[in-house]
Amino acid sequence: MADSIERLPVRRITREGGKNIRDTVTRELPLTIIFNNRELVTLLCSPVDLRYLAIGFLTSGGLIGHRDEIKGILADDSRGVVRVETGDGKDPDAGLLTKRLITSGCGKGTAFYNVVDVKNRTVMKSDFSISPSDVFTLVREFQNRSQLFKSTGGVHSAALCDAGNILVFNEDIGRHNALDKVFGECLWEDIPTADRLIVTSGRVSSEILLKVARRDIPVLVSRSAPTDLGIKLANDLGVTLVGFVRGERMNVYSHERRITA
């Protein structure tokens, strides 16, 4: 946490005039991920848990499926580099990363997610369920944990939870990074994700929904708004999507059977 923020000089201006203060600012670091000796990507992120972020990014990108595949990992936090070796010499182009940035399809809108991600997936059948009051309690606790956001207003949070507890929690200036840090920790620490739920502070676009569905997580809860494509994918893939959880109200956009009184 200490590494994620710093205090910088700021000129605070109000109707009464200006004064020089020091204010808390969130830090941003370029993190380069080197996969099997090839530079894969540079992410802009909060400089904490870089190892988890790298693993989560590679997992979300389809390059790593299990902890055992990682033969070596070296995180140089000060230089912002994480090297990951899989031992099998796998080519980064084998994953979803390239395809997701540069589609190989005909350019038809829906082809983007259909072809690449959705076609081979079955609909999630998990019987996991959670009560509305447990959702409200979890999100309240989630809010309390989001200290960095409170002090700087500049980050997103994500958490893996069961019906009663936050199990894994992380923060980042990017909502994708926050989620990838959670997934990276789950993979590295052998924490199961099936029959659990994800809470996120960020809006749910199609990419976020796909990331969660790919981990077989049946319920995704957001404090913010989903997009129509996020909702459509949630319906198609069997994910219960909850949005706009504020105090004691929420919107359920899909598969509401898992939200039970």
Summarize as ranges the residues that interact with its own copies (CB under 8 A). 6, 8, 10-15, 17-18, 23, 25-30, 32, 34, 39-42, 44, 76, 79-81, 100-105, 107-110, 112-113, 132, 152-154, 173, 203, 205-207, 224-231, 244, 248-253, 256, 259, 261
Secondary structure element (H or E) that encloses residue 88, with its range: none
Task: Judge contact between 8 and 23, C-beta under 8 A.
Answer: yes
Shortest spacing between CB 68 and its own copies, in angstroms: 26
Residues recorded for the chain: 261
Shortest spacing between CB 102 and its own copies, in angstroms: 6
Shortest spacing between CB 190 and its own copies, in angstroms: 29
Kindly report the CA angle at 80 between 78 and 84, in degrees rounded to 5? 120
Name which of 174 and 193 has its Cβ closer to its own copies. Answer: 174
Catalytic residue selected from 45, 106, 161, 186? 106
Name which of 25 and 191 has its Cβ closer to its own copies. Answer: 25
Name which of 152 and 191 has its Cβ closer to its own copies. Answer: 152
Task: Judge contact between 30 and 36, C-beta under 8 A.
Answer: no
Full DSSP string of 17-85: EEEEEEEEEE--EEEEEEETTEEEEEEEE-SS-HHHHHHHHHHHTTS--SGGG--EEEEETTTTEEEEE
Task: Judge contact between 96 and 119, C-beta under 8 A.
Answer: no
Residue 208's φ and ψ, nearest 5 degrees, are -65, -45
Name which of 104 and 120 has its Cβ closer to its own copies. Answer: 104
Shortest spacing between CB 23 and its own copies, in angstroms: 6
Task: Judge contact between 157 and 149, C-beta under 8 A.
Answer: yes
Query: Is 45 a known active-site residue?
Result: no
Distance CA 104, CA 28 (A): 32
Name which of 42 and 144 has its Cβ closer to its own copies. Answer: 42
Task: Judge contact between 209 and 202, C-beta under 8 A.
Answer: no
Shortest spacing between CB 216 and its own copies, in angstroms: 23
Residues with catalytic roles? 106
